[in-house]
A and B are shown apart, each in its own frame.
Chain A
Amino acid sequence: MSGPPSSAPRKPGLALWLPLALFAAFLALVVWGLLRPDNREVASTFIGKPIPAFDLPPASADRPGLTRAQFVGGKPRLLNIFASWCGPCAVEAPQLAQLAAAGAEIDGVAIRDRKDDLARFLAANGNPFARIGQDDLSKVQIGIGSSGVPETFVVDARGVIRYQHIGAIMPDDVPMILGKLKEAGQ
């Protein structure tokens, strides 16, 4: 600002600061809004916790069922919650295949599915799964804090959940998921 105002501000002086004050209040509010924890995704409260005990029967004729014990020991694994009736699950199938090709071991949990529907789904979209458990009551899904399909969990060799991916895995997500798997193995 160049020099003091030539004539002293008259009565309106203070009122002229009002817009600035209101704007400062607005800024404070939205800065708080931006800094608050991420509000668009369900923050998983299950990360860092062991997966619960379960024993699911096989959902598909050519793959075994799924139990908690299979996650303990060995390598970190991906646990994919899916269903043949879920559109986005078909969309993420190529990415799951890509992950499997990159060496990830993937187990599936089919939610409230029918055997013949599932067989058709796997025939059409490929079957990257090592094991597929059938979860008719959404028990496993609920037990690990998943609120929908598809979701994918990174489970380390001690059976502890390390990462939760909500929604379909898109091509961009593949390197990130492989990274999380690697991280879980260290």
Chain B
Amino acid sequence: MSAIKAKHQRLVLLVIALAALIGAGLLAAWALSKQASYFYVPSDLVAHPPEQGRAVRLGGMVQRGSIKTMPDGVTITFVVGDGKATVPVRYAGITPDLFVEGSGVVAEGRMEGATFVADNLLAKHDEKYVPREMKDMTQAQAKAVVAETK
């Protein structure tokens, strides 16, 4: 194969680089629309359920009295609510220190049937850290727990 003509080389390189860049951009956009994990509160999740098996996150309040440990000792089930709707959640694993009933939680996982199966739980209140998604939920949480404690 012979060397490319002088004036074409730069152009060819440029076209390849641009094509790769645009390709990467389109690929990223397509993959993000497929794979980005959306954030749901229970009422959204009930009203517009995501596809089964798609990775999403669920944020809400852990309902009081809802945490139950399965006989295997490591799987727990609990109910997350936002005052309007509730979603049952199952999680197998070691729970974070600040995971308690009546506190906020963000669960990463997917819907399987009517149950949300969590891979990971984020619950943090120390060091002023609150999962960012929780910030709009203060009032919803309030209603949820007030409704539930009546």
A and B pair up: yes
Chain A interfacial positions (CB closer than 8 Å to B): 10-12, 15, 18, 39-45, 87-88, 112, 137-139, 142-143, 145, 147-149, 166-168
A42/B134 in contact, CB under 8 A: yes
Cross-interface CB contact of B128 among A40, A43, A44, A138, cutoff 8 Å: A40
Instruction: Report the bound CA distance from A45 to B126 in whole Å.
Output: 21
**Residues of A contacting B132 with CB < 8 Å?**
39-40
Instruction: Report the bound CA distance from A142 to B103 in whole Å.
Output: 11
Q: What are 27 A-B contacts defined by CB distance under 8 Å?
A: A10-B10, A11-B11, A12-B10, A15-B18, A40-B129, A41-B135, A42-B130, A42-B134, A42-B135, A42-B138, A88-B126, A112-B102, A138-B102, A138-B145, A138-B149, A142-B141, A142-B145, A142-B146, A143-B142, A143-B146, A147-B103, A147-B104, A147-B130, A147-B138, A147-B141, A166-B130, A167-B125
Other 5 A-B pairs with CB < 8 A, given A11-B10, A147-B134? A12-B14, A42-B134, A142-B142, A147-B138, A147-B141
Number of inter-chain CB pairs below 8 Å? 65
Expressed in whole angstroms, the minimum distance between the Cβ of A97 and any Cβ of chain B is 21
B128/A167 in contact, CB under 8 A: yes
B33 at the interface (CB under 8 A from A): no
A43/B139 in contact, CB under 8 A: no
Considering the complex, which residues of chain B in the window 94-150 have a beta carbon less than 8 Å from any beta carbon of chain A? 98, 102-104, 125-130, 132, 134-135, 138-139, 141-142, 145-146, 149
**Residues of B contacting A167 with CB < 8 Å?**
125-128
Complex: chain B residue closest to A150, CB-CB:
B125
**Residues of B contacting A112 with CB < 8 Å?**
102
Complex: chain B residue closest to A22, CB-CB:
B21
A40/B130 in contact, CB under 8 A: yes
Expressed in whole angstroms, the minimum distance between the Cβ of A159 and any Cβ of chain B is 18
